[in-house]
Amino acid sequence: MPGAVATGSPWCPTRNDRRHPGRGSAVPDADATPHGFVEYTKRVSPTCLVHLERNRYSVPASFANRPVSLRVYPERIVVAAEGQIVCEHRRIIERSHDRRGQTIYDWRHYLAVIQRKPGALRNGAPFTELPEAFKRLQQHLLRKPGGDREMVEILSLVLQHDEQVVLTAVEMALQAGVPTKVHILNLLHRLVDGRPIAPPVIDAPQALSLAKEPQANVERYDALRQVREARHAS
């Protein structure tokens, strides 16, 4: 129910409530519900955002144009749908009404979008907050044809693996000077499986050393040619 209050202790409107013109329900201050949350039903916009207190918060793309439950805590907001927690953001509280609202993105929420349209990765606002290692990799990959698609596939690895492990694989590939999807996947699988990254150094025994080092001798090559020509002549 929009505006419903769920708390661990009784809550009632106080003088601290802020009522906005044109809105029928009060939005409590950050300290109005110290032990619970105020719940609203919101519809996610086509751009995967929900609005609260003039600010916008991203929601996973699969919930675009669908209703969700927005639970407003003093320090955070939680989005729930279909009986499960969908995502969570730190709550932005602006005391001044003269400032423009902020848009809070989580780039992971838009992976489904760029999987369909890889080109959106280049100038998409949600991807300006990528971790530094991903940004450096993107600079390398977008220089070559198909780099958009390759970058999207690497970013999507965080849906299947721990994000920190993926970042470690990307950083290792960058340090090795081989920022490619194939090499990153190889490193990632080794990290996940616990296998050593670098091949072991083989110390060849002295028994395998050459007793006599070969020498370049062009005359030997000419001698072989003469023998072969003599055989053809016969």
In this prediction, residue 87 has a pLDDT band, given cuts at 50, 70 and 90, of very high
Terminal Cα distance for the chain, rounded: 105
Task: Identify the weakest region by mean pLDDT among 53-57, 205-209, 212-216, 220-224.
Answer: 205-209
Q: Dump pLDDT digits (tens) for 98-154.
A: 778 899 999 999 999 999 999 888 888 999 889 999 999 999 998 888 899 999 999
Instruction: Confirm whether 211 is domain-assigned.
Output: no
Backbone angles phi and psi of 68, in degrees to 5: -140, 165
60 in a structural domain: yes
Q: Which residue type does 137 have?
A: L
Last residue of a domain, one of 104, 134, 158: 104
Tell me which residue has tokens 């020509």: 229
212: helix, coil or strand? coil
Of 80, 104, 128, the one marking the end of a domain is 104
Domain count, the chain: 2
* Average pLDDT of the residues of the chain: 81
Q: How many C-beta neighbours within 10 Å does residue 97 have?
A: 8
Percent of the chain with pLDDT over 70: 76
Average pLDDT of the segment spanning 170-191: 93
160 in the same domain as 184: yes
Residues 33 and 114 in one domain: no
Flag whether 33 is in a domain: yes
- Which range of residues forms the domain containing residue 129? 109-193
pLDDT computed for residue 203 by the predictor: 67
Q: Give 41's contacts (C-beta < 8 A, 6+ positions apart).
A: 1, 2, 67, 68, 69, 70
Better-predicted residue by pLDDT, 77 or 124: 77
Q: Which two tokens stand for residue 58?
A: 């991203």
Please report, rounded to a whole number, the percentage of residues in the chain having pLDDT higher than 90: 52
| pLDDT score of 23 | 42
Do 125 and 181 sit in the same domain of this protein?
yes
115, 84: one domain = no
Which domain-ending residue is among 42, 71, 104?
104
- For residues 79 and 87, the answer to whether their CB atoms sit within 8 Å is yes
Residue 191's pLDDT band, with cuts at 50, 70 and 90, is: very high
Q: What is this structure's pTM?
A: 0.66
In the predicted structure, residue 227 carries a pLDDT above the cut 70: no
169 and 88 in a common domain? no
pLDDT > 60? residue 14: no
Q: Is the pLDDT of residue 195 over 50?
A: yes
CA dist 92 → 5, 51, 102 (Å)? 20, 12, 8
Residues 39 and 114 in one domain: no
Contacts of 6 (CB under 8 A, 6+ apart): 36, 37, 38, 39, 71
Residue 53 lies in a domain: yes
* Highest-confidence segment of 56-60, 81-85, 89-93: 56-60
Write down the pLDDT at residue 206. Answer: 61
- What lies within 8 Å, CB to CB, of 1 at 6+ separation is 39, 41
